[in-house]
Structure 1
């Protein structure tokens, strides 16, 4: 039976049940196939779950009954994403980026890849929803110094302050254009501890000041000052001397704070 004939007969059938045929047809032919989405998501994430030993990259089934939240960020956000998901369980569907977000120059390509891989019409029967909240951060990978591919203070900084400001402004414009109905929340960059490899103490402050200067031109974007929240607890929450990452306690505390901020805009 040809599809047009089938739809016509289906419409007649649902009329008899008191349903709107067009709405019913949309549900039948355009609904999300979450099995396909889950398989695609796992391929997209690759080995990220095993590399970071976290459930932050597990597939989460979006639902129209709850707001959809995206967490975009570096490995710090990978650490707190699980707590955000746990804290907002029942209130929102929380999905974090499929990888470490990297520097500001990586943001738009990563977002495009997420959209092109997981969403309709790029993925047949893929995700078909709009982001309600996007919590994002870039900076920790911009301020680092590399020699080749290795962290090295004698190497070259990934982004200058000027480049970072330009990139962040483009990110803000991109998000507003592509996701005009989403509430945007920018998280400041967490502190760099003493003796960190390839990073200098104080650079987080410089890059956060640069970010705030950019965001003055985007007053509708909320600032989550996770730097100020973390700094007083750096010694208690840090993993070990010289490590920019945090213990389970630190990540959980950060996740609870990120959840508190996001919950205001659900």
Structure 2
């Protein structure tokens, strides 16, 4: 009995000192959309989970392949959530006037659907070799019709290819595409911009947080 009480006191002391923590460590890897909603996810899990985002913009899957080791680092992550897509399906031309040289008429796509799927396959394999964390893929969000460098129909094509890769590797999927369409219609910056107002990012953050909360409960 005395040993049991002593062990319990030691655990309580370690937890209170921060040497043992029951907080979940979550890494979010993604583009500017994820950068926009991450603060709302951090606020949602304040005191319950530590939520980090990779430094800067994860851009496209090519950037991911170059930097994934750096982003994962040596931290013991419980959940790694990731998304690529909006940069992969973007068309760019060196002479284009739109920000980022976007031009879906004269430009060249960053990665085709097949190239995107192959890159994702490599990325998932790399991530799994580096961490035992629960992996979650977030689908690409809505592209409005007047966007300069992206076709509105492409996210669904790229998402279908991505989900096939995730199912192959038994990676969890948070399919936010349909939600993002509704959110963008009300809270999007404009009909030519993939980004959202703060209220829109908050709505996206809620959709992200709800699934993460289920995963945290499953882990613990």
Aligned residue runs from structure 1 range 1-266, under 5 A: 64-115=21-72, 119=74, 129-148=75-94, 150-153=101-104, 154-179=106-131, 181-219=132-170, 221-266=171-216
1:196 Cα offset (Å): 0.2
Q: Which has the higher contact order (CA 8 A, sep 6+)?
A: 2
Higher fraction of strand: 2
In the alignment, the residues of structure 2 paired with residue 192 and residue 168 of structure 1 have an alpha-carbon distance, to the nearest angstrom, of 20
1:207 Cα offset (Å): 0.4
In the alignment, the residues of structure 2 paired with residue 235 and residue 202 of structure 1 have an alpha-carbon distance, to the nearest angstrom, of 16
1:78 Cα offset (Å): 0.5
Question: What TM-score do you get using the length of structure 1 for normalisation?
Answer: 0.69
> What's the C-alpha RMSD, in Å, of the aligned pairs?
2.0
In the alignment, the residues of structure 1 paired with residue 39 and residue 61 of structure 2 have an alpha-carbon distance, to the nearest angstrom, of 23
Which sections of structure 2, spanning at least 5 residues, go unmatched? 1-19, 95-99
In the alignment, the residues of structure 1 paired with residue 80 and residue 59 of structure 2 have an alpha-carbon distance, to the nearest angstrom, of 17
1:194 Cα offset (Å): 1.2
In the alignment, the residues of structure 1 paired with residue 86 and residue 78 of structure 2 have an alpha-carbon distance, to the nearest angstrom, of 25
Secondary structure at the residue paired with 1:265? helix
In the alignment, the residues of structure 1 paired with residue 213 and residue 61 of structure 2 have an alpha-carbon distance, to the nearest angstrom, of 26
In the alignment, the residues of structure 2 paired with residue 183 and residue 165 of structure 1 have an alpha-carbon distance, to the nearest angstrom, of 20
1:254 Cα offset (Å): 0.5
In the alignment, the residues of structure 1 paired with residue 109 and residue 190 of structure 2 have an alpha-carbon distance, to the nearest angstrom, of 24
Runs of 4+ with deviation above 6 angstroms: none
Q: Point out the structure with max Rg over C-alpha.
A: 1
- The number of residue pairs the alignment matches comes to 194
Question: What TM-score do you get using the length of structure 2 for normalisation?
Answer: 0.83
Which sections of structure 1, spanning at least 5 residues, go unmatched? 1-62, 120-128
